[in-house]
Amino acid sequence: MHRFSYDTRYPAISDLKARAKKRIPNFSFDYVDGGIDQEHGKARNRNAWHEIDLIPRYLCDVSNADLSTRIFDKDYALPFGVPPIGLGNMMWPGAEMALATAAQKANMPYILSTFSTTPLEEIAAAAPDVAWFQLYVPKKVEVMKDLLAKVKAAGFNALVVTLDIPVGAKRNRELKNGLKLPFSFTPKIIWQCATHPTWALSTLKHGQPDFVNVLEYKEGPNEGLAQFITNFNMHGVTRERIELIRQVWDGPLVLKGVQHEPDIQAALEIGIDGVIVSNHGGRQLDAAPTSVQSLQDLASYADKGMTMMVDSGIRTGTDVVRAKALGAQMAFSGRSFFWGMGALGLAGAEQVVGIYQDEIDRTLKQVGCASFREMDGGWLA
Ligand SMILES: Cc1cc2nc3c(=O)[nH]c(=O)nc-3n(C[C@H](O)[C@H](O)[C@H](O)COP(=O)(O)O)c2cc1C
């Protein structure tokens, strides 16, 4: 396993967040950091992980800890990955490629968003062993089939279908910042760019971020981000559509955003391979249960053959170990990676991997568990 070092001036994800806030324009920071409505759901996500206590066990040898996990008949060296983040390059120009490259080096999953800003073929080539593709299900079946054919041809290892955006989110920070694509340079946005020249110059050099993988399917000029997503997506992905996707996609198929038991039951019946229990990082429904709560409710589906994964609110390696104790084979953290990029530019990708790797390793050893695969509910207080 490659050992990632990290800059100890920023030893925690919260340090990266603080630095990112200074280094990138507010509209970009808010796009990543923001949640829905009053952002209570986002805060509850975070607090719920703190409530999970692990009882340390001593009297055992933990000179080495094995951090690897097995998902869809493949071993990954690390049990956490990069979830899909639309408009990734807005956090830092080139962020998506830097993250995919770091994920390949670390042997951990990297999920490319439908609304990414780097061509999917380039990401698949940079991360041939670990790249998964996330699908926002297009309303039009022919568009969906065309996109999936490209994803297959590029060689992605798994397909992740996001369920939890039946309607565009009303995110107040984005509305106040006037965030739109293509960028309309309002005086506020010009001022924010001028006061963050490193970000602005790199963005200028790299080119304005845009939804390159779906541009060809556009029918009219974009409105706000949420509006574009609303126009492209199905308003509620139906069971029939998931059944169709199951017929079209013959590789590992994952549903993301599952919180309701009948939904995971349906997934099992349709032949879905895995789920990511998630509330989209508190970005879609402020009243949604935390992913900790949903994971506790649904974890028993692992015994029925469902691969359980989780995201939303994970910020430390200890959280990844907690997630495994609750039944998740793999955990993802969206904002961690993007704060890393915002704080340190492209070097932020490996910084975040290094922090998580170190923290997972230390937590496993601290609780007396020599292998991530062995971590289970027996450690819960
Ligand atoms: C800025 C941003 C953009 C996102 N874009 C997508 C996306 O395109 N597709 C998707 O399925 N989830 C998307 N998500 C949700 C993440 O994949 C993930 O579920 C969430 O970030 C997990 O919560 P956390 O940020 O608290 O770790 C996005 C999240 C953020 C913060």
Residue 222: what pLDDT? Answer: 56
**Does 91 reside within a domain?**
yes
Q: Using 50, 70 and 90 to split pLDDT, how confident is the model at 183?
A: low
Query: Would residue 77 count as lying in a domain?
Result: yes
Mean of the pLDDT values across residues 101-111?
98
Output the residue whose Cα is nearest ligand 1's atom 15.
280
Residue among 82, 283, 310, 352 whose CB has most ligand 1 atoms within 8 A, to mutate: 283
Mean pLDDT of 61-90: 95
- Better-scored residue on pLDDT, 354 or 186: 354
Q: Where does the pLDDT of residue 104 fall: very low under 50, low under 70, confident under 90, or very high at 90 and above?
A: very high
Q: Is the minimum distance from the CB of 312 to ligand 1 under 6 angstroms?
A: yes
Q: Which two tokens stand for residue 296?
A: 């506790």
Q: Is 32 in the pocket of ligand 1 (CB under 6 A)?
A: yes
How far away, in angstroms, is 281 Cα from ligand 1 center? 6
Residue 3, domain member (yes or no): no
For ligand 1, say whether the CB of 34 is within 6 Å of any of its atoms.
no
Q: How far from the centroid of its chain's Cα atoms is residue 375's Cα?
A: 23
Residue 20: pLDDT band (50, 70, 90) is very high
DSSP calls for 204-270: HHH-----TTTGGG--S---BHHHHHHHHB-SS--HHHHHHHHHH--S-EEEEEE-SHHHHHHHHHH
CATH of the domain at 107: 3.20.20.70
Q: Higher confidence at residue 174 or residue 60?
A: 60
Please check whether residue 263 lies inside any domain of the structure.
Answer: yes
* Apex 230 CA angle, 258 and 25, nearest 5: 90
Residue 8 to residue 21: CA distance in whole angstroms: 19
Q: How confident is the model at residue 89 (pLDDT cuts 50, 70, 90)?
A: confident
Q: In the annotation, is 196 catalytic?
A: no
Q: Tens digits of per-residue pLDDT, 243-260?
A: 999 999 999 999 999 999
In a domain, 149, yes or no: yes
Tally of structural domains, the chain: 1
Task: Give bridge partners of residue 256 from the DSSP assignment.
Answer: 162, 276
pLDDT digits (tens, 9 = 90+) for 316-337: 999 999 999 999 999 999 999 9
What residues make up the domain containing 130?
A: 13-379
- At 211 the pLDDT is 85
Lowest mean pLDDT, pick from 85-89, 203-207, 326-330: 203-207
- The conformation of residue 284, written as its DSSP 8-state character, comes to S
Task: Please report the pLDDT score of residue 231 as a whole number.
Answer: 79
Cβ–ligand 1 contact at 314 (below 6 Å): yes
Is 356 within 8 Å of 1 (Cβ atoms)?
no
* Candidate from 220-224, 243-247, 277-281, 338-342 with smallest mean pLDDT: 220-224
pTM value > 0.75 = yes
Evaluate if residue 184 carries a pLDDT over 80.
Answer: no
Q: What is the pLDDT of residue 210?
A: 80
Average pLDDT over residues 156-177: 91
From the candidates 40, 50, 260, 280, give the one annotated as an active-site residue: 280
For residue 203, is pLDDT > 90? no
* Ligand 1 binding pocket mutation candidate from 136, 259, 280, 312 (most atoms within 8 A of CB): 280
Confidence class for position 128, pLDDT limits 50, 70, 90 = very high
Does the structure show a pLDDT above 60 at 223?
no
Does residue 5 lie in a domain region? no
Does the CB atom of residue 291 touch ligand 1 within 6 A?
no
Q: Is the CB of 256 under 6 A from ligand 1?
A: yes
| Residue 227 pLDDT > 80 | no
Of 19 and 91, the one with more pLDDT: 19
Whole-number Å distance, alpha carbon 370 to ligand 1 midpoint, is 31
Residue 314 included in any domain = yes
1 occurs within a structural domain: no
